[in-house]
Structure 1
Amino acid sequence: MKQKAHPKFSYNTVDEFIQNFTFRNGVHTIWLGNQQSLALLVQGEAFYTQSSNESLLVVFTAAQFDRTDKEPPFFSGVGLARSLELPLLAIADPTLSLSDTLPIAWYAGSQYCPNLPQKLSTLITHVSALTRLKLLIVGGSGAGFASLVQAMCLDEEATICVWNPQTDIMNYSQTYVDMYYETAFENHPLPDGHMHKVDTAGIKGEKRIVYLQNISDWHTQKHCLPFFKCFTLNKYGRSTFIDSAGKVAFHFGDWGKGHVVPPYLLLEALIKTLAQSHNAALASMFLESQGTKAQPYLFEKGKGLFPFRIETSLEDRVLSLQCSFLEGEEDPFQYAFYLMDGKERVDTKWYTAENHVRFTLPPKIRQIKVVVFVKDQLETVISKQFTIKG
């Protein structure tokens, strides 16, 4: 499938690009040597001169699993940028040109360009300085990984918006990890400083990160939570968490089963909000304002809120207890129960999806207590103890 024809500009080196680049619509190709090139798509030449616009939209491209009749370079963000009237810098991953079947390379480089993330940060910085626009970098899945890596490479201010990203290449499907490394590096050793993981300690300067994650995606456990747990966060609303500085926000949605992209209109409106404000706190407010239907209810660790109604009955030494969640909503939690005699545990029901329990009381129990544990979809646990009179 042939891509739309764009004006073409060519540069023999990165230095030549920096010396001669102007923000003109078209594909700008930089030769990297060893028959490899890096392609940048510029769009929205008319938008970047508008006084009302302050943002440059930088878009990475996610995996290309179906490459039938498709040829690199692969670009994303064209329709989004046009709809929002934002100048666009779309970046293609040069490593995909090394194979007709390689679907993903995370912009992590190859033996021919081992320092690709750092080279990209140099180019992005130059375009931002030339246009005098603030950076808004976006991408999902593998492109989300590339976007987050730029938080480690870029020295200057940037806002980064990602959805369902990988945060560690090694935690992705082994088939595709092996395919990438065999194609990109063959039998060559990996270079020093090869970036296969997003390290929060390495994030530089003034960065704002808005991270969207579909709750049922396997990425939640493998990629999101290890990254999520690196920050000290406060809960905002039902399913959003933000740090005290208002710079890092996580929003969990329920947009379908598995590795599902957030709805396009939601992403479009969110990116518009970020382009106008570059404010993660405002982005959190926007996300929580979109209604509760696609927002899972999540707990805030250590805050003690127990939003459940407990109903108990005691008859013929059988204690029945049931937890009720918000009325009319699906219950996605796991429950466990302890039966206590004072401080001594005498019976246990381990975690299941059942929100009720029946305990037969021992003959000599004196001080009946029950501890209820509830675990949410991020495996955060809250608990509450009840004394039963009887």
Structure 2
Amino acid sequence: MTSRIESANIQPCNHEAHRVEVHEWKSVAEFVSASVKPDGLHVIGTGAGTHLDILTSGNPYHAKGKPTLVIFNGAVSKRDERIPPFLSGRGIAHDTGWPFVAIADPSINISKDTSIAWYSGNSQVNVQQEIFRLLRPLSRAQNNLWLVGGSAGGFAALLFGHMLGNAASVFVWNAQTDIIEYSAGYVKNYLKYSFPEMAGRVNSGDWKKYARGEFRRHNFVHSIQDTVLPNQRPRKLLYIQNHNDWHVISHCVPYLKTFEYQRQGDGLYVQDENHVIWFPEIGNGHPAPQKDAIIQILKLASASDLSIVDSVEIMEATAVFPSDQRSPMTRPRDLRHWGKRITDRIRFDRSGEIISVVIRDLPKRYGGLNVEFLSYVEGKRIDRQPYNTGSFEYSVPTPENETVSVEIKVQDGFGNLLKFETMEFVPHTQHKLEDGA
């Protein structure tokens, strides 16, 4: 082991408050087998000139009696202005007083155009495999290990939580569960720089097929629900998904269905009392919980005398998220079993070039009800107001002398289509001709 490396390419990330000791290891095997692992930044070789960076504090491989945190990053903001490695969670660990390990994603270092890589890997190294080798002995040494992350970091925490099974617990928020179903621009950037052979294919119509093939070829997991066995699960799991984030339908619901979570109340889905998906109102869209909320959640979830269901009930009662935003009846749910009782309460009105969707005798967004408007001229789409705008009113585009066809689609919070209608809007000039006839 070499301590205190001075190198322009190996340094603590620029948002760490204090300089830390830096230690170098030839491999993950050398690191995990060492009897002494001093706190600090560990630069661990992974072959092919690459390395894995982790930050440790509180002697996590040997500390006893407290929960231990492993924290994964989400996307890196202002990537081109910052110096890797990128590590998160030092403030959370400091405020809890718990030992922690923060893991940087080495694939983000490949290009300043890459801000997110899901801890999966690249053509040089299988990062998932290396991190699993790093975490397995830690999970054996600790009886209250928590894997924590949001968004892309949530994908990593979920994946490794399932891989470690009963030896670890998981807390995630707004997690991705299938890399390829994330925002296409970010995924393509990651693929282009991490797998040079994909550079010429990321803009093709079937780029997702090529991407899945590339993941299989390198033995990477890109979809938790398509890969992980349902009966292989963490000891405890709290998956928080903001109620109106587009991740609900694209990422959370597929995971919820695969692992057969059942509704137990407004926004609460469970496998059992210690495996819970919760849809609270964190904010609008894809926000992370505030640090104080994360700390409160971790302290409750990790308590030995509380189940995860108990913890959520306490958080609901104490308004861990802003109480003025709480609206439990509008949290996402599957409304198909209501059938006509729901659809008969939905009416489409038009006034001039304005379409309004009216919900009668229910909260406007009951069960996550949402609307999409699509406008076409001669079969070609000219406009779209997608579901995630939250708007129930639409101003129809009116190209001169063109008839516009508008599709109106209403779906529930789980993405099930409940009602559909098409309206035709004839140009004003055509109305005048018909009136004159």
- Using the size of structure 1 for normalisation, the TM-score is 0.74
Report if aligned partners of 2:139, 2:167 keep a CA contact under 8 Å in 1. Answer: no
Alignment of 1:1-390 (within 5 A): 1=14, 3=16, 4-20=18-34, 22-45=36-59, 49=63, 51=65, 53=66, 55-114=67-126, 116-130=127-141, 132-187=142-197, 189-190=214-215, 191-199=217-225, 201-203=228-230, 204=232, 206-243=234-271, 245-277=272-304, 279-291=307-319, 293-297=325-329, 298=331, 299=333, 323-325=360-362, 334=369, 376-379=412-415
Q: Secondary structure in 1 aligned to 2:81?
A: coil
CA distance in 1, matches of 2:289, 2:296: 11
| CA distance 1:10–1:334, change in 2 (3 Å) | closer
Instruction: Work out whether residues 12 and 30 of structure 1, in 8 Å CA contact, stay in contact via their aligned partners in 2.
Output: yes
Q: Which amino acid aligns with 1:37?
A: H
Aligned-partner residue type, residue 224 of structure 1: C
Alpha-carbon distance in structure 1 between the residues aligned to 2:87 and 2:246: 26
When structure 1 is superposed on structure 2, of 172-181 and 189-198 the one drifting more is 189-198
Q: What is the rounded CA distance, in whole Å, between the counterparts of 1:275 and 1:12 in structure 2? A: 34
Amino acid at match of 1:239: G
Q: Secondary structure at the match of 2:70?
A: strand
Identity of aligned residues (%): 26
Give the distance between the partners of 1:237 and 1:290, measured in 2 at CA. Answer: 17
- Aligned mates of 2:177, 2:88 — CA distance in 1: 20
Deviations 1:66-96 (A, max 9, x none): 1243111111111111111110011110111
What is the rounded CA distance, in whole Å, between the counterparts of 1:235 and 1:248 in structure 2?
Answer: 12
* 2:335–2:367 contact (8 Å) kept in structure 1: no
Gaps of 5+ in 1: 312-320, 337-351, 355-373, 383-390
SS of residue in 2 equivalent to 1:82: helix
CA distance in 1, matches of 2:101, 2:19: 17
Cα gap change, 1:222/1:16 in structure 2, threshold over 3 Å: closer, same or farther? same
**Is the contact between residue 214 and residue 262 of structure 1 (CA under 8 Å) also seen in structure 2?**
no
Could you state the TM-score of these two structures normalised by the residue count of structure 2?
0.66
- Deviation string, structure 1 residues 162-207 (Cα, Å, up to 9, x no partner): 1111111111111111111111111175434321111274252554
CA distance in 1, matches of 2:26, 2:229: 31
In structure 2, do the counterparts of structure 1 residues 238 and 265 end up closer, same or farther at CA, with 3 Å as the change threshold?
A: farther
Match of residue 404 from structure 2: none
Q: Provide the aligned C-alpha RMSD in A.
A: 3.5
- 1:63, distance to aligned residue in structure 2 (A): 0.6
**293-302 or 188-197, which deviates more:** 293-302
Which residue identity lines up with residue 45 of structure 1 in the other structure? N
Give the distance between the partners of 1:47 and 1:84, measured in 2 at CA: 17
SS at match of 1:39: strand
The letter for the 1-side match of 2:414 is L
CA pair 86-331 structure 1, distance change in 2 beyond 3 A: same
Which string of whole-angstrom CA distances, capped at 9 and with x for unpartnered residues, describes residues 291-326 of structure 1? 46434324576887x999x99xxxxxxxxx995457
* Contact kept? 1:235, 1:300, Cα under 8 Å: no
2:422 is aligned to none
Kindly indicate which of the two structures has a greater share of residues assigned to helix. Answer: 2
Q: 2 CA distance for matches of 1:335 and 1:252?
A: 16
Q: Is the 8 A contact 1:240 1:288 kept in 2?
A: no
